[in-house]
Structure 1
Amino acid sequence: MAGRPGRRRRRGGRAAAAPGGGAVPGGRDVGIPNLAPALGRRRPSGPCRGRAPGGGGTGGRVRTVAAVLIAVLAGAAGVAWADEAAKAPAGSVADQPKAAEPAAAPEAGKPIVAEIKVVGGSTITADTVEYYLNVSQGDVFDPQAIAKSFRRFWDSGLVEDLKVEYEDIAPGKVRLIVTVRERPKVTEYLFKGNKKLSTSSLREKLDTANVTLKRNVPLRSSELKRIKQAILDVYAKEGYASAVVEPVVSDDGPNQRKVTLEIDEGAKVKIGEIRFEGNKVFSNRRLRMALKKTKEKSVLRLFSKKTIWSKETWGEDSENLKKFYMNHGYKDIVVGEPQVNLIARNPAGRTQKEKNFRMVVTIPVQEGKQFKMGDLSIKGATVFDGDKLRKLYDVKPGKTYNYSKVEDGNEAVRNLYQARGYIYSYTNQALVERKDKPDTVDVVVSVYEGDRFRLGRLEFAGNTKTQDKVMRREIRLFEGDWMDMSLFKKSMFKVNQLGYFKLKEDPLDFKFDDKNRLVNVTIKGEEVGRTDIQFGFGYSELEGFFGQFMFNTRNFLGRGEILGVGVQSGATGRSYTLSFSEPYFLDKRMLVGGSIYNQTVDYSALTGSLSDYVRKGKGGSLVWGLGVSDFGQFSVTYGYEDVYASYSVLRTLGPDSPITYPHGRPLPTPYTGIVTEDKFHEVYSGITSSLTPGYGYDSRDDPFDPSQGISYFLRVRYAGGPFGGDFDYLKPEWGVTLFHPLSRRTIFAGNFEGGIEKSLNGVAIPFYDRYRLGGERSLRGLEWYSVLPRTKAGAYFVDANGVQLGGDRYLQLNLEYQVKLGGPLKLIFFSDIGNTWYDTQGWDLGLVRYTYGTELRIFLPIFQAPLRFIYGINPRPFPDEKRSNFQFSIGSTF
Structure 2
Amino acid sequence: YGEFGYIDFVAEPNFEPLPGTDKIDLTLNFDEGKQFFVRRIDFTGNSTTRDKVIRRELLIDEGDMFNTRLWELSILRLNQLGYFEVLKEEEAAKIERDTKSSTVDITLQVKERGKNSVQLSGGVSGIAGSFVSFGYSTNNFLGLGETLSVSSQLGDRIRDLTFGFTEPYFLDRPIQAGFTVYTQRFNFDQGREVSLLSGRDLSPLFNELGVDNLLNYVSNGMGFTVFASYPLKRSFARVGITYGFDSSKYTTLTTAANSYFQYINFQGLEGANSLSGIKTSSIIPSYNYNSVNHPITPTGGKSLFISTRIAGSVLGGNVNLFEPTIDAKYFRGGFKKGHVIGFHFLGRAVMGYGGKVAPPFNRVFMGGEQDVRGFEIWGISPLAYVPSAAQITVLNNDGSARQQKVVVDGAERLVDVTQTIPIYQMIMPGGDTQLVGNAEYRIPIVGPVTLAFFFDAGMNKIIRPNQLRMNPSRIAELNGLFPQAAFNERAVIAPGTQKLRTSTGIELQIMMPVVNAPFRLYWAYNPTIAQTILQPPIVADRSYFPNQTTFLNSIAQFGRPYPFIEKRKTFRFTISRTF
TM-score, length-scaled by structure 2: 0.67
Tell me whether 425-434 or 826-835 shows the greater mean CA deviation. Answer: 425-434
Rate the CA distance shift 1:548–1:737 in 2: closer, same or farther, 3 A.
farther
Equivalent AA in structure 2 for residue 881 of structure 1: E
Provide the residue aligned with 2:521 in structure 1. Answer: 869
Alignment of structure 1 residues 561-640 onto 2, 5 Å: 561-567=146-152, 575-599=160-184, 617-628=221-232, 629-640=234-245
Alignment of structure 1 residues 199-348 onto 2, 5 Å: none
Rate the CA distance shift 1:780–1:435 in 2: closer, same or farther, 3 A.
same
CA distance in 1 between partners of 2:117 and 2:178 (Å): 19
1:694 to 264, 286, 294: 286
CA distance in 1 between partners of 2:154 and 2:36 (Å): 59
| Secondary structure class of the residue paired with 2:40 | strand
1:57-78 CA distance string (max 9 Å, x none): xxxxxxxxxxxxxxxxxxxxxx
| TM superposition shift of 1:644 | 3.5
Does residue 450 (structure 1) correspond to residue 102 (structure 2)? The answer is no
Aligned residues: 424
CA distance in 2 between partners of 1:520 and 1:459 (Å): 8
| TM superposition shift of 1:574 | 7.4
Any conservation in 2 of the 1:798–1:805 contact (CA below 8 Å)?
Answer: no
Cα RMSD (Å): 3.3
CA distance in 2 between partners of 1:434 and 1:642 (Å): 83
Equivalent AA in structure 1 for residue 238 of structure 2: Q
Rate the CA distance shift 1:832–1:549 in 2: closer, same or farther, 3 A.
farther
| TM superposition shift of 1:514 | 2.2
Any conservation in 1 of the 2:384–2:427 contact (CA below 8 Å)?
Answer: no
| TM superposition shift of 1:684 | 7.1
Provide the residue aligned with 2:499 in structure 1. Answer: 847
| TM superposition shift of 1:555 | 0.5
Give the number of the structure whose residues are more often strand, by fraction: 2
Provide the residue aligned with 2:65 in structure 1. Answer: 482
| TM superposition shift of 1:483 | 1.0
Any conservation in 1 of the 2:17–2:24 contact (CA below 8 Å)?
Answer: yes
CA distance in 2 between partners of 1:445 and 1:853 (Å): 52
CA distance in 1 between partners of 2:381 and 2:497 (Å): 14
| Secondary structure class of the residue paired with 1:526 | coil
Provide the residue aligned with 2:95 in structure 1. Answer: 510
Any conservation in 1 of the 2:166–2:177 contact (CA below 8 Å)?
Answer: yes
| Secondary structure class of the residue paired with 1:805 | coil
- Does 1 or 2 have the higher relative contact order (CA < 8 Å, sep 6+)? 2
| TM superposition shift of 1:744 | 1.9
Any conservation in 2 of the 1:754–1:812 contact (CA below 8 Å)?
Answer: yes
Rate the CA distance shift 1:434–1:532 in 2: closer, same or farther, 3 A.
farther
| TM superposition shift of 1:433 | 1.8
Rate the CA distance shift 1:642–1:594 in 2: closer, same or farther, 3 A.
same
1:736-774 CA distance string (max 9 Å, x none): 011111122321111001111221212111100111111
CA distance in 1 between partners of 2:162 and 2:279 (Å): 19
Equivalent AA in structure 1 for residue 34 of structure 2: D
Alignment of structure 1 residues 15-54 onto 2, 5 Å: none
TM-score, length-scaled by structure 1: 0.44
CA distance in 2 between partners of 1:799 and 1:457 (Å): 75
Unaligned runs of 5+ residues in structure 2 are 123-130, 195-217, 253-265, 389-424, 467-495, 532-563
1:183-213 CA distance string (max 9 Å, x none): xxxxxxxxxxxxxxxxxxxxxxxxxxxxxxx
Any conservation in 2 of the 1:643–1:685 contact (CA below 8 Å)?
Answer: yes
| Secondary structure class of the residue paired with 1:758 | coil
1:238-263 CA distance string (max 9 Å, x none): xxxxxxxxxxxxxxxxxxxxxxxxxx
Equivalent AA in structure 2 for residue 631 of structure 1: F
Provide the residue aligned with 1:641 in structure 2. Answer: 246
Rate the CA distance shift 1:889–1:646 in 2: closer, same or farther, 3 A.
farther
Provide the residue aligned with 1:709 in structure 2. Answer: 301
1:838 to 457, 462, 469: 462
Does residue 519 (structure 1) correspond to residue 107 (structure 2)? The answer is no
Any conservation in 2 of the 1:707–1:741 contact (CA below 8 Å)?
Answer: yes
Any conservation in 2 of the 1:646–1:682 contact (CA below 8 Å)?
Answer: no
| TM superposition shift of 1:880 | 5.5
1:153-205 CA distance string (max 9 Å, x none): xxxxxxxxxxxxxxxxxxxxxxxxxxxxxxxxxxxxxxxxxxxxxxxxxxxxx
Any conservation in 1 of the 2:459–2:498 contact (CA below 8 Å)?
Answer: no
| TM superposition shift of 1:516 | 2.1
Rate the CA distance shift 1:825–1:493 in 2: closer, same or farther, 3 A.
same
| Secondary structure class of the residue paired with 1:527 | coil
Any conservation in 2 of the 1:788–1:796 contact (CA below 8 Å)?
Answer: no
Equivalent AA in structure 1 for residue 435 of structure 2: L
Any conservation in 2 of the 1:620–1:639 contact (CA below 8 Å)?
Answer: yes
1:884 to 564, 569, 579: 569
CA distance in 1 between partners of 2:20 and 2:219 (Å): 84
CA distance in 1 between partners of 2:134 and 2:227 (Å): 25
Rate the CA distance shift 1:798–1:731 in 2: closer, same or farther, 3 A.
farther
CA distance in 2 between partners of 1:530 and 1:642 (Å): 33
2:384 to 796, 801, 818: 796
Any conservation in 1 of the 2:145–2:167 contact (CA below 8 Å)?
Answer: yes
Unaligned runs of 5+ residues in structure 1 are 1-416, 538-545, 606-613, 648-671, 675-680, 790-794
| TM superposition shift of 1:461 | 1.0
Does residue 430 (structure 1) correspond to residue 14 (structure 2)? The answer is yes
**Structure ID, larger Rg:** 1
CA distance in 2 between partners of 1:639 and 1:836 (Å): 26
| TM superposition shift of 1:701 | 1.3
Rate the CA distance shift 1:565–1:467 in 2: closer, same or farther, 3 A.
same
| Secondary structure class of the residue paired with 2:107 | strand
Does residue 471 (structure 1) correspond to residue 82 (structure 2)? The answer is no
CA distance in 2 between partners of 1:847 and 1:754 (Å): 16
Rate the CA distance shift 1:643–1:673 in 2: closer, same or farther, 3 A.
closer
Provide the residue aligned with 1:250 in structure 2. Answer: none
| TM superposition shift of 1:589 | 0.8
1:786-808 CA distance string (max 9 Å, x none): 1112xxxxx43558786531111
| TM superposition shift of 1:631 | 1.5
| Secondary structure class of the residue paired with 2:368 | coil
Any conservation in 1 of the 2:42–2:108 contact (CA below 8 Å)?
Answer: yes
Any conservation in 1 of the 2:381–2:498 contact (CA below 8 Å)?
Answer: no
Any conservation in 1 of the 2:349–2:433 contact (CA below 8 Å)?
Answer: yes
Rate the CA distance shift 1:778–1:632 in 2: closer, same or farther, 3 A.
same
> Could you tell me the percent identity over the aligned residues?
33
